[in-house]
């Protein structure tokens, strides 16, 4: 058996959909209730769907009983404040797991490389069902910020940088890619993140909004890349040394 995956994501692991007219909607993310939850930078999260419909953002596998990132329960008080965000998450008609708005404070390129990680979206997801991928819909207007994707965490030649203007809509296999956001600021960045189950519904949605993996990175000076690689390697080595000394103590 194998997971059901999306042909559109098979080769490149991400698609960029048509840009959404974000300015036409109210800024619902400003009305939501956020919880402090550190994830790849200085972040807070506003759950729209969570494991049990509570205002908390833990992985569904950390609940009792543990379960896959599917069948998220809508948080009533949040849904009332953000009907457009909920409508957008529900539009594909695919099963939804975690659905939340993330708030991220500004950071640097080095920070973002340090923060590169792979998501654990498919923990406990039964073989033979749909592979979980995630939507990243930029709510604030951050054209100078980018989502960084790397097939190989330490190889900058595998890097994809997708600018995050308001209304940018990405669907990414974040369990495949090392990923993080480089957010220029100066204001916090807001993004709607939805876990969707791959299948015919999601495929039809990607086709409807002309999902494409064709993309050219915005330019970035090679010296900036090289310096950041060196700095992040140092930071990672320092962290490893700290962890080692703690485990000895
Ligand atoms: Fe992630």
Are 61 and 165 spatial neighbours (Cβ–Cβ below 8 Å)?
no
Q: What pTM was estimated for this model as a whole?
A: 0.94
Q: Which residue has the higher pLDDT, 244 or 53?
A: 53
* Mean pLDDT of all residues belonging to the chain: 95
The SS3 assignment for 96 reads: strand
The percentage of the chain sitting over the pLDDT mark of 70, rounded to a whole number, equals: 100
Identify the DSSP state of 179: E
* Ligand 1 centre distance from Cα of residue 39 (Å): 8
Per-residue pLDDT tens for 15-33? 999 999 999 999 999 999 9
Q: What is the pLDDT of residue 40?
A: 78
Handedness of CA 230, 227, 106, 26 (dihedral sign): negative
Residue 122's φ and ψ, nearest 5 degrees, are -105, 15
Look at 141 and 243; give whichever has higher pLDDT: 141
∠ CA 21-27-29, rounded to 5°: 115
Alpha-carbon gap, residue 210 to 16, rounded angstroms: 8
- In 3-13, which positions are buried (b, 16+ CB within 10 angstroms) versus exposed (e)? eebbebbeebb
Residue that the structure tokens 């939340």 belong to: 100
Q: Residue 249 pLDDT more than 70?
A: no
Q: How far is the CA of 243 from the centre of ligand 1 (A)?
A: 22
Ligand 1 centroid to residue 22 C-alpha, Å: 23
Q: Is 2's pLDDT higher than 80?
A: yes
Q: Say yes or no to pLDDT of 1 above 80.
A: no
pLDDT band at residue 105 under the 50/70/90 scheme: very high
Residue-level pLDDT at 127: 94
The rounded Å distance from CA 155 to ligand 1 centre is: 18
Give the pLDDT confidence score for residue 51 in this predicted structure: 95
Name the pLDDT band for 245 (thresholds 50, 70, 90). confident
Q: Tell me the C-alpha distance between 76 and 91, whole Å.
A: 18
Helix or strand holding residue 97 (H, E):
strand 96-104
Residue 101 Cα to ligand 1 midpoint, Å, equals 13
For residue 152, pLDDT over 70 is answered with yes
Could you tell me if 50 and 98 are in contact, meaning their C-beta atoms sit under 8 angstroms apart?
yes
> Quick one: pLDDT at residue 69?
94
Q: How far is the CA of 179 from the centre of ligand 1 (A)?
A: 6
Which whole number is the average pLDDT over 80-105? 98
- Cα(174) to ligand 1 centroid in Å equals 6
pLDDT in tens, 34-43: 998 877 788 9
Q: What does the pLDDT look like over 164-205, one tens digit per residue?
A: 999 999 999 999 999 999 999 999 999 999 999 999 999 999
Our CA angle for 105, 224, 37, nearest 5°, is: 20
Please give the distance, rounded to the nearest whole angstrom, from the Cα atom of residue 249 to the centre of ligand 1.
Answer: 32
31 Cα to the center of ligand 1, angstroms: 24
CA–centroid distance, 207 to ligand 1, in Å, is 24
Beta bridge partners of 14: 172
For residues 164 and 181, the answer to whether their CB atoms sit within 8 Å is: yes
Q: Compute, in angstroms, the gap from residue 98 CA to the centroid of ligand 1.
A: 12
Model confidence at 78, pLDDT cuts 50, 70, 90, reads very high
What spacing in Å lies between the alpha carbon of 248 and ligand 1's midpoint? 31
| Residue whose structure tokens are 């950390």 | 62
Q: Residue 226 above 90 pLDDT?
A: yes
DSSP of 143-166, one letter per residue?
EEEEEEEESSTT-GGGEEEEEE-T
For residue range 110-119, list pLDDT tens digits in order: 999 999 999 9
- As a residue count, the chain comes to 249
pLDDT number for residue 239: 87
Assess whether pLDDT exceeds 90 at residue 88: yes
Q: Where are the beta strands (DSSP E) in 139-244?
A: 142-150, 159-164, 169-172, 178-182, 189-197
């Amino acid at each position: 058996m194998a997971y059901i995956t999306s042909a559109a994501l098979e080769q490149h692991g991400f698609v960029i959909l048509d840009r959404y007219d974000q300015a036409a909607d109210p800024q619902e993310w400003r009305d939501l209730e956020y919880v402090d939850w550190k994830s790849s930078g200085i972040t807070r999260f506003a759950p729209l769907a969570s494991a049990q419909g509570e205002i908390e953002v833990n992985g569904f596998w950390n609940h009792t009983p543990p379960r896959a990132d599917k069948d998220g329960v809508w948080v009533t008080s949040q849904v009332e404040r953000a009907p457009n965000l909920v409508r957008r998450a529900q539009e594909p008609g695919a099963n939804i797991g975690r659905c939340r708005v993330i708030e991220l404070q500004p950071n640097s390129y080095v920070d973002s490389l340090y923060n590169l990680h792979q998501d654990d979206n498919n923990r406990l997801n039964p073989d033979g069902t749909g592979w979980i991928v995630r939507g990243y819909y930029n709510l604030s207007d951050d054209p100078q910020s980018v989502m960084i994707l790397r097939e190989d965490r330490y190889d900058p030649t595998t890097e994809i940088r997708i600018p995050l203007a308001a209304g940018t809509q990405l669907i990414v296999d974040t369990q495949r890619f090392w990923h993080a956001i480089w957010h220029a600021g100066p204001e916090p960045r807001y993004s709607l993140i939805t876990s969707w189950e791959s299948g015919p519904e999601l495929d039809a949605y990607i086709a409807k909004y002309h999902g494409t993996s064709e993309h050219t990175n915005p330019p970035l000076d090679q010296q900036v890349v090289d310096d950041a690689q060196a700095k992040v390697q140092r930071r990672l080595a320092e962290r490893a040394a700290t962890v080692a000394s703690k485990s000895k103590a």
